[in-house]
Structure 1
Amino acid sequence: MPSDLAGAAVAFLVAPEGTEQIELTDPWEAVEKAGGTPRLVSTSPGEIQAFNHLDKADTFTVDATVEEVGAADFTGLVLPGGVANPDFLRTVPRAVEFVKEFFDTGKPVAAICHAPWTLIEARAVDGRRLTSYPSLATDVRNAGGEWVDEEVVTCAMGPNTLVTSRKPDDLPAFDRALLDAFAK
């Protein structure tokens, strides 16, 4: 039986180093189980190094770089967290532009933990209700967003839907919400 994401390509944007592994692999598996095709996008070709908090975990092969693809190539975008991942991505202009393209074209975006730092840099939180790791609350508010402490927040604004969650414990709710948003 085909699922709601059959044939859908979903971008997972990550830095070459510093992605929280479970925040990459858990939504990735959810997209696959729903019939979608996850694609690992980074700022450099080769492999990325994931982490379990501060410890090195597995490496993953990059499918494409932000220079090679755009939002038009995907149904939606997932931004995994980890402190270093979004902190690096927000310093790479093409990575920020890649994120912005999803908002400009009305495609859904899902971000967990520290990933809203990249959303802030893309100027995509103003007027939106969202959550993140609690240490980002002031950053979200300063960027014009309404920060709330909830397991998952889905904010539809115009043609775009943004799904956010706080931390790995929220992954089951995050996965369900992002699958729902990407299937629409």
Structure 2
Amino acid sequence: MADQKKVAFAVAAEGIEQVELTEPWQAVKDAGAQPVLVSVESGEVQGFNHLTAADTFPVDQTFDAVSVDDFDALVLPGGVANPDALRTEEAAVGFIRDFVTSGKPVAVICHGPWTLVEAGVLDGRRITSWPSLRTDITNAGGQWVDEEVVVDGNLISSRNPDDLPAFNREITKALGA
């Protein structure tokens, strides 16, 4: 389908909160869009159920081989280790920065906003996250709020896996589904 929307799921090699990857992935597919797993290296990435290793997932593309122009939206799953590692990768941070500034939808959950902090794109933005990121977001110029889902322009954010139904609803709405 030539006009099928493509959604990048940007992750590090490990530490991804599995449900924050798999549930939005399925929501994107159910909305008729194509999810694409983008990571630092080819191969597989490791999902986690909190701190316990879970399933692995095949990487579709690497950050050095993609452009914002290739996608219609971006999803940043959480997990503590995933965004912490991702924010140290220059190609990933640049891709995410460019995506936010493009105006295309960017959905981020749990610890995912750490990468947005690193990208310097939260100044003046209203966002939620896992509560421990409040100070980082505030120091980056963002307005942290404790809400199930927050939509601020092209930025969609949620706090944790309990918020996934609302998070997924806003992602599919942003895709026009």
Q: Does 1:86 align with 2:83?
A: yes
Determine the C-alpha separation between the residues in 1 that align with 2:145 and 2:102. Answer: 26
Determine the C-alpha separation between the residues in 2 that align with 1:104 and 1:116. Answer: 15
Out of 24, 47, 53, the residue aligned to residue 50 of structure 2 is 53
Structure 1 residue ranges without an equivalent (≥5): 1-5
Determine the C-alpha separation between the residues in 1 that align with 2:114 and 2:149. Answer: 17
Determine the C-alpha separation between the residues in 2 that align with 1:130 and 1:104. Answer: 16
Partner of 1:154: 151
Partner of 2:92: 95
Q: Does 1:64 align with 2:50?
A: no
How far does residue 182 in structure 1 lie from its aligned partner after superposition?
A: 2.7
Partner of 1:143: 140
Q: Secondary structure at the match of 1:41?
A: strand
Tell me how large the CA RMSD over aligned residues is.
1.0
Partner of 2:19: 22
TM-score of the superposed pair, with normalisation by structure 1: 0.93
Deviations 1:115-163 (A, max 9, x none): 000001111111000000000001110000000000000001xxxx000
How far does residue 104 in structure 1 lie from its aligned partner after superposition?
A: 2.5
Determine the C-alpha separation between the residues in 1 that align with 2:67 and 2:82. Answer: 19
Structure 2 residue ranges without an equivalent (≥5): none
Q: Aligned residues: percent identity?
A: 60
Determine the C-alpha separation between the residues in 1 that align with 2:53 and 2:143. Answer: 33
Partner of 2:117: 120
Q: Secondary structure at the match of 1:67?
A: helix
How far does residue 105 in structure 1 lie from its aligned partner after superposition?
A: 1.8
Determine the C-alpha separation between the residues in 1 that align with 2:142 and 2:42. Answer: 33
Partner of 1:170: 163
TM-score of the superposed pair, with normalisation by structure 2: 0.97
Which runs of 4 or more aligned residues in structure 1 lie more than 6 Å from their structure 2 counterparts after TM superposition? none
Partner of 1:129: 126
